[in-house]
A and B are shown apart, each in its own frame.
Chain A
Amino acid sequence: MSVTGQPPTTEQTLDQLQRAAFSYFLQAVNPANGLVADTSRDNAPASIGVVGFALSAYPVAVGRGWMTRADAVERSLTTLRFFRDSDQSGSPEATGYKGFYYHFLDMQTGVRMWRSELSMIDTAMLIAGALTAASYFKAETREEIELREIVDALYRRIDWSWTLDGKATIRLGWKPECGFLNYGWDGYNEAMVLYVLALGSPTHPIAGDNFEAWTATYQWENLYGYDFLYAGPLFVHQFSHAWIDFRGIQDRFMRDKRCDYFENSRRATEVQRQYARRNPHGFAGYGESCWGVTACDGPSQQEPELADEPRRLFGYAARGVPYGPDDGTLSGWAAVASLPFAPDIVLRTASVMLDRYPENLSDQQYASSFNPTLARADRAWVSAGHFGLDQGIVLLMIENHRTQLIWQLTRNCRPIRTGLSRAGFRGGWLQRRAPNKHHANGHAQ
């Protein structure tokens, strides 16, 4: 990839990055059940959130000619049938409970791994992917009809209201050993897609008051000269946007602030740049065109060769700006995932980061993270392998930048429209009636 002189990343480069990201889902899938590994590392379990990205990736691949429609439908059906038929008893070795699924599953058997939690947000990403597939595969064929019926059944059986546990806001997770996890999950975070899907449910919805209770924990801040809804890690400003087009639609909070969540994510991009320019900890590499502080893998202090590092290092952690944690670790994929919000800035940033740190890419896929401060022999520390969530967000956000395909599909998705409406969103595309026919055979330009 030639980026000498750092011209903005080209359309051709984007295509390469996007296709490489998609190849992760071909490499890391178990074709027998559709489960996709959390990472490319040995013995990695499946992650249900990554499966959600896979279900969204197949329509992109069909549209771009990387996969036949029949293949995509078959892969999607295999996946959806697995979840339909999975053990929902909630036992420690089951796959799910009350329509939700454990975060990590055995790639072969699909049972719970690592004593993981029943994950509300990862289930939401899985269902968002399933709904994306159902919105794309609209043909009246036996397979596509079955696909849509399974998606509907999976969505309907989720007991979203149970996740409140009598509280005002959704709990983060649940374990059979101890019940709901006691983690605070307040403030603006990646849960928007979760709340929208929970509100849109025809069977077990949460109430608009629950959404309001969540937004009551928001912090609207003026930081580095930008007014924005604060959240430290960059992924928070991206993940729900992979599936939902927030351009021009506003809930009560955003109406009050005369902003929308899309514009907010653009400002979050600017805040990342400002932080990287200031670089308060003096880390190598940071600058206005080299940033991406987010949840990612990291050079944990546990690694023996880093034991002498004077600064505190983290493993997988939700890094954030401006208050940290920050150990000098950046994510190239996180910059790219802001492409729809600030294309000019991101294209140049991606180009600069790849030019300076080409080791950040292997097989054209972004590593989870790299740390230039911990360079050895002029090569930054780089997280081993690849992470499915990173590939998924790169794939979807490049697509949304190029064609808005995913956004077009979910605009016509009843649960998402209903959920947004119940959350108080108004204006923009929500005011326009959903068309009866969808762009099922190609890109929704």
Chain B
Amino acid sequence: MATHNNSTSTAPPDVAERERRNNVHPDGWCNPVPAARYNLVVIGAGTAGLVAAHAAAALGAKVALIERHLLGGDCLNVGCVPSKAIIRTARLYSEMRHATQYGAQIPGDLRVDFSAVMLRMRGIRARISRADSVLRLTEAGVDVFFGAACFTGPEAVTVDGTTLRFKKAMIATGSRPDTPSIPGLVEAGYLTNENVFNLTELPRRLLVIGGGPLGCELAQAFSRFGSKTIIAQSWPLFLPLEERDAAQILSDAFARDGVEVRLNTRAVSVRVQGGQKLVDLVSDDYKSTVAVDAILTGTGRVPNVEGLNLEAAGVHYDADDGICVNDFLQTSNPRIYAAGDVCLEHKFTHTADASARIVVRNALFFGRQRLSALTIPWCTYTDPEIAHVGLYVQQAHNKDISVKTFTIPMHDVDRAIADGEEAGFVKIHVKEGTDRILGATIVARHAGEMINEVTLAMVAGIGLRTLARVIHAYPTQGEAIKKAADAYNHTRLMPFAKTIFSRWLAWRR
């Protein structure tokens, strides 16, 4: 997924950075002599590319993997891994500031050492990069080529002047941040996920444009580090695709963390004056200007489809939606498949992984696995986290499915109370009159962990009735799911069963 030129790291070249670099794009690398023909050529070595290359090679395929920049893609280098590392530190600072709520003392010196935060992040990133290393790939039998890939026909692609011929190919070139077209933004300079993790100093004042997952996560984290943070979101709600109640809880959390929230607000122009960035904001008929030291944009992503000469390969694509694939992830060229961000609506690491596995089966083993059969959860790693799987209520209504939602506020869960982590809820949507789970949204400190149980139930076809029989260790926050299942049982049994049971028990007395 990391085949974009702008992600050159300017992070301090410390031991960790050298290790990561050596793992994901070693200096002096020489591309191998290509095989006469490959079972599978994979273009892009992000999550999808790495998964496909390893899986295909493990099954005995002759595989080539082409990467323009860094192995591991966005997730490892400029996405999930570094963001989760700094979010952990930000969470710790927040807890230390609120130590008295937990019956503890606030440490005497709560100075944020931003360089230490980033040093830890780089160490973690380097460690995790070992799994994605070129060494592991070559040991697995994968031919790794660094350079820009360019199709020369329906069965061939070149990299650095070398032609690779293939029986099947998979395009997994990923996506890059979309740059909002705000006059003056480019001239003033701005941060995206591709360069924010290279920062060596904490911006004193930060404007985050975009209330999507990335914007929300980093706005909260930087505010917790001490940046005076404003988040401006053009929609009237955060995370507009999520449940409104999730956005309400997140809004409260932001306020607690000192994030200034500007909903229904667009940034319309940027200029630099006196060394600071002045950003004009408009909310309906209200106009204002904010002065900040850095601007972070998180307004969506665009697929990397340029420079591949897809026309030569007969692969249809769209600049906004990416490579066109069918439900089997096959492109308009039957020999070529696509996986990950470059072709998927849900641009997540785990979706890239799952789609790559589908491609390996469908491309190499005549599989007929469908993308639409996947049950895909996702999570935004704010505090509390917001996780979802399956249908939203309105999506179900649009399909004319009657929905009932079993809601357990986290303040009804003993462990959440004990942990002081009561903000949030578990909502499980079932088809009315049945126990079939259509979807779920969880807002909780560890929602990302909790959603997996619901996903498992959905994939395995387990309904709430069965979930109610699953003993959950007490006390755990995951017990909220059991409580939702118990609530289902309660409504199923009452009041008819209660009447019957009462009579029977009365007769037994």
Residues on A close to B: CB < 8 A? 115, 175, 177-178, 181-184, 186-187, 216-225, 227, 230, 232, 256-257, 278, 280, 312, 320, 322-325
Contacts and interface: CB of A to CB of B under 8 A. Distances in A.
Contacts of A182: 234-236, 264, 284
A388 B402 CA distance: 39
A222 B237 contact: no
A219 B394 CA distance: 8
A278 B411 CA distance: 8
Interface stretch (B201-209, B241-249, B298-306, B450-458): B241-249
A232 B252 CA distance: 15
Contacts of A218: 393, 397
Contact of B412 (A216, A278, A320): A278
Contacts of B119: none
Majority secondary structure of chain A interface residues (helix, strand, loop or mixed)? loop
A324 B285 contact: no
Contacts of B425: 322-323
Given A182-B264, A183-B264, A187-B244, A280 B252 contact: no
Contacts of B407: 221-223, 230
Interface residues of B toward A: which range? 35 or more
27 contacts: A175-B285, A177-B284, A177-B285, A181-B284, A182-B234, A183-B236, A184-B235, A184-B237, A187-B244, A216-B397, A216-B398, A218-B393, A222-B487, A222-B488, A222-B491, A223-B409, A225-B490, A227-B491, A256-B432, A280-B422, A312-B256, A323-B245, A323-B248, A323-B249, A323-B409, A324-B248, A324-B252
A320 B248 CA distance: 10
A79 B284 CA distance: 31
B66 interface: no
Contacts of A230: 405, 407
A312 B405 contact: no
A115 B427 CA distance: 39
A227 B404 contact: yes
Majority secondary structure of chain B interface residues (helix, strand, loop or mixed)? mixed
Contacts of A220: 403-405, 432
Interface string B382-420: 000000000001100110001111110101100000000
B103 to A, nearest CB: 14
B255 interface: yes
B255 A312 contact: yes
A363 B2 CA distance: 69
Given A220-B432, A325-B248, 18 more contacts: A178-B285, A182-B234, A182-B284, A183-B264, A186-B244, A219-B243, A219-B393, A219-B405, A220-B405, A221-B404, A222-B406, A222-B487, A222-B491, A223-B407, A223-B409, A280-B422, A322-B411, A323-B249
Interface of B: 234-237, 240, 243-245, 248-249, 252, 255-256, 264, 284-285, 393-394, 397-398, 402-407, 409, 411-412, 422, 425, 427, 432, 487-488, 490-491
A187 B402 CA distance: 15
Nearest to B101: A310
B159 to A, nearest CB: 47
A29 B249 CA distance: 40
A182 to B, nearest CB: 5
Contacts of B398: 216
A68 B16 CA distance: 86
A232 B427 CA distance: 15
A225 B256 contact: no
Contacts of A322: 409, 411, 425
Contacts of B411: 278, 280, 322
